[in-house]
Amino acid sequence: MALVFLSVTASSYEANAHPIEVGWAALNCGKVHAHLIAPDESWTSEPRFIPITPWQRQDIPHELLICEGKTPSFICRLLNYALEGDRVLSDCQAIDQKLLDRLYRSSGLRQEFELEDAIKAVEQHLDNLGLGSLHFWKCFAKATQGNPSRIRAGDNAKWWREFWESLSASALNK
């Protein structure tokens, strides 16, 4: 069982937001997976749908999602396969789960992995390692140096993986 950090980028901060990108990074693995999500027709036909922010803020034009995004069913099958049996952490568990729920509803598939709260997992990890807040902030700064932008889903997942690895390395060197 691997430890995996998952991030989902939302179309907006509105209640009817939908997922536009998903990214994940497994602990002790250099690869970061990130996939744009083609909007389901039901998402874009809703009242108040406006294809703007955060796409433009994140340099993900709506047209790019349509042209290069993968279908919700493809993304869901990929997630279920890639994350089967893994411990999956998210820094915004409630929001990411809501976006995943919407994605899986559109695909007609069932989510086959559970999403856990990364913040609570980090707190437990710190306790297990016997580290305090000083180590937390040093590792936070180190992870941020290598990954200054966490706006895109893959970048955020990579940051969390590197933060966790930095905490583990810090415990070995204390």
Question: Cis peptide leading into 51, omega within 30 of 0?
Answer: no
pLDDT on residue 94: 95
Q: State the Cα–Cα distance between residues 72 and 18, nearest whole angstrom.
A: 11
User: What angle do the packed helices 153-172 and 133-146 form, to 10 degrees?
Assistant: 140
pLDDT on residue 119: 87
The structure tokens listed for 5 are: 């950090």
- pTM score of the predicted model: 0.86
Give yes or no for a contact between 19 and 59, defined as CB atoms under 8 angstroms apart: no
Q: State the Cα–Cα distance between residues 140 and 118, nearest whole angstrom.
A: 14
Helix (H) or strand (E) holding 87: strand 87-90
Q: Which residues contact 61 (CB under 8 A, 6 or more apart)?
A: 55
SS3 14: coil
DSSP per-residue letters across 106-154: HHT----S-EEEHHHHHHHHHHHHT--HHHHHHHHHHHHHH-----SHH
pLDDT on residue 57: 46
The structure tokens listed for 17 are: 């937001």
Task: Provide block-wise average pLDDT over 10 residues at a time, the chain (174 residues).
Answer: 93 84 92 94 66 53 87 98 96 95 96 95 83 72 68 89 83 62
